[in-house]
Structure 1
Amino acid sequence: MSVKGELASGVFYTSIAKYAGIVVTLVVSGILARLFTPEEFGVVNIATVVIAFFAIFSDLGIGPAVIQHKNLGKRDLDGIFSLSIWSGAVMALLFFAASGLVASFYDDSQELRNILRILSANLFFAAANIVPNALILKQKRFRFAAMRSLSVQIAGGAAAVAAAYAGAGIYALTINPVFSSLMLFVINYRQNPLSLHLRPGREAIGKVFSFLAYQFSFQLINYFSRNLDKLLMGRYMSLSQLGYYDKSYRLMMLPLQNIAYVVSPVMHPIFSEMQDDLRQLATSYRKVVRLLAFIGLPLSVVLCFTAQELVLIIFGSQWQPSVPVFRILALSVGIQIVMSTSGSIFQAANATRMLFLCGVFSATLNVAAICTGIFAFGTTEAVAWCICASFAVNFVQCYHALFCLTLRTGWGAFWRSFLSPLLLTALVCLPLAAIEWLLPPMPLIVSLAVKGAAALAVWLLYVQLGGEYDLKGTAARLLSRKKR
Structure 2
Amino acid sequence: MPILSAILSRLPQKLSNRFVRNLSWLGLAEIISRIFRLGLTVILARFLTPYDYGLAAIVSTVNEFMRVFMEIGVSAKIIQCDRQELDTICNSGYWLNWSIFTGLFFAQCLLAFPIAWFYRDRLTREIDLILPICIAGIPYLMWPFAAIQSALIVRENRLKVCAIAAVVRNLASYFLSALFAIRGWGIWAFVLPWILVTPLEIIIYRKSYAWHPTAKFTTKAWRSILDFGKNICGVQFLKALRNNLDYLIIGRFLGIKELGIYFFGFNAGLGISLSIVTAINTAILPHLCKAKASMLELSKSYYSALKIITLIIFPLVILQSSLAYWYVPIIFGRQWIVAIPVLVLICLSAIPRPFADAASQLLVAVGKPNLDLYWNLAFTTVFALSLLIGVHWQVIGVAAAVLIVHMLFLPVFTIWTNRHVLRQS
The alignment's TM-score, normalised by the length of structure 2, stands at 0.89
Provide Cα deviations, 1:454-477, integer angstroms capped at 9, x if missing partner. Answer: xxxxxxxxxxxxxxxxxxxxxxxx
Does structure 1 residue 85 correspond to structure 2 residue 98?
yes
**AA matched with 1:25:** R
Q: Aligned equivalents of 1:182 and 1:394: distance in 2? A: 40
Larger-gyration structure (1/2):
1
Does structure 1 residue 44 correspond to structure 2 residue 59?
no
What is the match of residue 15 of structure 1?
Answer: 27
What is the match of residue 264 of structure 1?
Answer: 281
Map 1:308-457; keep pairs closer than 5 Å: 308-374=325-391, 377-408=392-423
- Asked if structure 1 preserves the Cα contact closer than 8 Å seen for 2:352 and 2:411, the reply is no
From 87, 101, 108, the counterpart of 1:74:
87
Shift of the 378–124 alpha-carbon distance from structure 1 to 2, 3 Å rule, reads farther
Structure 1 unaligned blocks of 5 or more = 411-484
Shift of the 57–144 alpha-carbon distance from structure 1 to 2, 3 Å rule, reads closer
- Asked if structure 1 preserves the Cα contact closer than 8 Å seen for 2:250 and 2:259, the reply is yes
- Asked if structure 1 preserves the Cα contact closer than 8 Å seen for 2:269 and 2:321, the reply is no
From 157, 165, 174, the counterpart of 2:182:
165
**AA matched with 2:58:** I
Deviation at 1:196, TM superposition (A): 9.1
- Asked if structure 1 preserves the Cα contact closer than 8 Å seen for 2:89 and 2:225, the reply is no
What is the match of residue 116 of structure 1?
Answer: 133
Q: Cα RMSD over matched residues?
A: 2.3
- Asked if structure 2 preserves the Cα contact closer than 8 Å seen for 1:260 and 1:341, the reply is no
Q: Aligned equivalents of 1:116 and 1:198: distance in 2? A: 33
Deviation at 1:35, TM superposition (A): 0.8
Q: Aligned equivalents of 1:324 and 1:249: distance in 2? A: 10
What is the match of residue 237 of structure 1?
Answer: 254
Structure 2 unaligned blocks of 5 or more = 1-11
**Identity %, equivalent residues:** 18
What is the match of residue 474 of structure 1?
Answer: none
Q: Aligned equivalents of 2:216 and 2:334: distance in 1? A: 54
Larger RCO of the pair (alpha carbons < 8 Å, separation 6+): 2
Shift of the 346–256 alpha-carbon distance from structure 1 to 2, 3 Å rule, reads farther
Mean CA deviation greater in 184-193 or 62-71: 184-193
Deviation at 1:298, TM superposition (A): 3.4
From 198, 201, 205, the counterpart of 2:219:
201
Deviation at 1:370, TM superposition (A): 1.1
- Asked if structure 1 preserves the Cα contact closer than 8 Å seen for 2:78 and 2:86, the reply is no
SS where residue 334 of structure 1 aligns?
A: coil
The alignment's TM-score, normalised by the length of structure 1, stands at 0.79
- Asked if structure 1 preserves the Cα contact closer than 8 Å seen for 2:273 and 2:317, the reply is no
**AA matched with 1:21:** S
Q: Aligned equivalents of 1:161 and 1:129: distance in 2? A: 27
- Asked if structure 2 preserves the Cα contact closer than 8 Å seen for 1:17 and 1:150, the reply is yes
Provide Cα deviations, 1:275-306, integer angstroms capped at 9, x if missing partner. Answer: 22233212321222123223322333322221
From 153, 160, 163, the counterpart of 1:136:
153
Q: Aligned equivalents of 1:263 and 1:301: distance in 2? A: 19
SS where residue 69 of structure 2 aligns?
A: helix
